[in-house]
Amino acid sequence: MAGVEETAAPPLTGALARRPLAAGLPRLALFVRRKKLGALGFALVLFILLVALLSPWLKRYDENLQFQRPNPDFNPTASPLEIARNPNVGAPFILERFQRPSWEHWLGTDQAGRDIYARIVVGARLAAIIGLGASLISVLSGTVTGLISGYFGGRVDFCLQRIVDGIQAFPGIVLLLLLVSVVERPNLPLTVAVLGFLGWAASTRIMRSAVLSVAASTYVEAARASGATNVRVMLRHVLPNVVAPMIVIFSISIGLYILAEAGLSFLGLGPYDQVTWGKMVSAGRNFVDRYPEESVCAGVAITVTVLAFNLAGDAIRDLLDPRLRGTR
């Protein structure tokens, strides 16, 4: 009523102030109870990201430090003939190669005397950067292209989709090898960019299908009839309604890019100056019958990380899709 002054609501205190938190805990418990695999995936993802973030403090040793010990057979006055018979007598120190897991080296050492645990922890940071970075590039670029293609249609859609068809016609591994081999020594930014470019076509296809369904809705037609520009309609009415597919693609793609980078590094085409799990699998495969620690630990790290992001992505998809909220 006119003349009545509005008064500000009193601040929440006591139990009322804690109501959002109290309401959120039962929802979290319900999510864990209904989607046990999804909760496990989120827990593993959180653990992996924490390890990646805290890797400078968790790795214990430098990942490239080669551990040595005094050589008991060293003889500074050894003759060339003695050195030829036993090369160890000419070196004052020898590498601590293939050390078994111990308190000093939790996962042992590799063929160069480097701590495997330290390299696994540093590899987690690289895996997180590559997975998140490549997924972000592919989803953002695919969203822009899919939004333009699905909204305008016609010739614009035809031309963009033929480009997408051309990229998807190449086998993924062949295209990766071709793009990475252009540079003599691929680095981390190039690897992330190449993997993101490889996923652009698939992201474009998915986002185009989502935009097509939204662009045909009545509220979009009403916005057009009211005189809104195409840019305004796309940004204010279409894009907010395709955020759910964007999140699902982003979460599920992370594990795929980590696995793709591991394959590249296994072939010797990954970042040349970084420690990656794929490189560790490749380096230890020649000794896997006698010293399996390096290959097995790196392989388990890749498997757990990809599985964690896939489980988390499936849970996000189920939560954002009303038809799947009651499943699993």
Question: Looking at residues 209-233, what average pLDDT do you find?
Answer: 88
Question: Looking at residues 96-110, what average pLDDT do you find?
Answer: 91
b/e burial code for range 200-238 (CB count within 10 A of at least 16 → b): bbbbbbbbbebbeebbeeeebeebeeeeeeeeebbeebb
- Which position has the token pair 């970042």? 271
Q: What is the pLDDT of residue 83?
A: 65
Q: Which two tokens stand for residue 39?
A: 């909760």
What mean pLDDT is reported for the chain? Answer: 83
pLDDT bin (cut points 50, 70, 90) of residue 6 is very low
Is a pLDDT exceeding 90 seen at residue 308?
Answer: yes
pLDDT bin (cut points 50, 70, 90) of residue 286 is confident
Is a pLDDT exceeding 90 seen at residue 325?
Answer: no
- The reply to whether CATH 3.90.550.10 applies to domain 116-324 is no
- Which position has the token pair 């963009």? 160
Q: Which two tokens stand for residue 1?
A: 């009523």
Report how far residue 293's alpha carbon sits from residue 245's, in angstroms, rounded to the nearest whole number. Answer: 40
Q: What is the pLDDT of residue 268?
A: 77
Query: What tens digit of pLDDT does each residue of 161-201 get?
Result: 999 988 888 777 777 777 666 776 778 888 888 889 888 99
Name the more confident of 106 and 83: 106
Query: What tens digit of pLDDT does each residue of 297-306 get?
Result: 999 999 999 9
Question: Looking at residues 34-57, what average pLDDT do you find?
Answer: 91
Q: What is the pLDDT of residue 245?
A: 87
Q: What is the pLDDT of residue 16?
A: 41
Q: What is the pLDDT of residue 9?
A: 43
Instruction: Give Cα 54 to chain centroid, integer Å.
Output: 16
Is a pLDDT exceeding 80 seen at residue 26?
Answer: no
pTM for the model: 0.82
pLDDT bin (cut points 50, 70, 90) of residue 274 is confident
Q: What is the pLDDT of residue 17?
A: 45
What is the distance between the terminal CA atoms of the chain, rounded to a whole angstrom?
Answer: 52
The neighbour count for residue 291, using CB atoms within 10 Å, is 20
Q: What is the pLDDT of residue 160?
A: 92
Question: Looking at residues 45-58, what average pLDDT do you find?
Answer: 94
Name the more confident of 228 and 19: 228
Report how far residue 163's alpha carbon sits from residue 143's, in angstroms, rounded to the nearest whole number. Answer: 15
Q: Which two tokens stand for residue 327?
A: 């499943």
Extents of the domains making up the chain: 68-104, 116-324
Is a pLDDT exceeding 50 seen at residue 113?
Answer: yes
**CB of 146 closer than 8 Å to CB of 211:** yes
Axis crossing angle, helix 293-320 with helix 277-284, rounded to the nearest 10: 150
Question: Looking at residues 94-101, what average pLDDT do you find?
Answer: 88
